[in-house]
A and B are shown apart, each in its own frame.
Chain A
Amino acid sequence: LAKTTQPISMDSYEGQEVNITCSHNNIATNDYITWYQQFPSQGPRFIIQGYKTKVTNEVASLFIPADRKSSTLSLPRVSLSDTAVYYCLVGVPQGGGKLIFGQGTELSVKP
């Protein structure tokens, strides 16, 4: 099972780009990397998922280097509403292999 390591917390200001890095040194060949956003009292919200190189959608980008031992979630021009906990999950989407979450990164965006 791939273990993930993320910073416990990060601070940013409105309008800045925020990059959150996740380390996953023992990622398996078939594993994907998925990022979630969670607000208090809500379920984790799927943000973005990738296998290698770069993936971009309307809310974020995901950068994965060639060795896949880490990944970086990039949030462009954050606002106060991006204050949340962000989780990196490594595993096969079809589960079976027990999708285990790490401790997450608490992002605080200030005005």
Chain B
Amino acid sequence: DIQMTQSPSSLLASTGDRVTITCRASQSIRTYLNWYQQKAGKAPKLLIYATSSLQRGVPSRFSGGGSGTDFTLTISSLQPEDFATYYCQQSYTTPQTFGQGTKLEIK
């Protein structure tokens, strides 16, 4: 299975900050990388698919990049509703696998 490793595991930030979360795959996954946001007690919500395509309705302050093994999720200016846990997911091979999550908390 492809292992997905996110860093950091947790992140303290303030409203208005620019933050970047990294996801590394154990082998190349080309650009088959998706990002999800999960708030406490809720299901994950798709933010970005295929590395950099913003899901409909997701604010443009979210962006994704990368290819091969290294990927990023960037939030350009944190809003209060962005404090949540973020997960990456590779869809290059079966079984699709997820990162362990990055918890974004208010400083």
Chain A bound to chain B = no
A→B interface (CB under 8 Å): none
B→A interface (CB under 8 Å): none
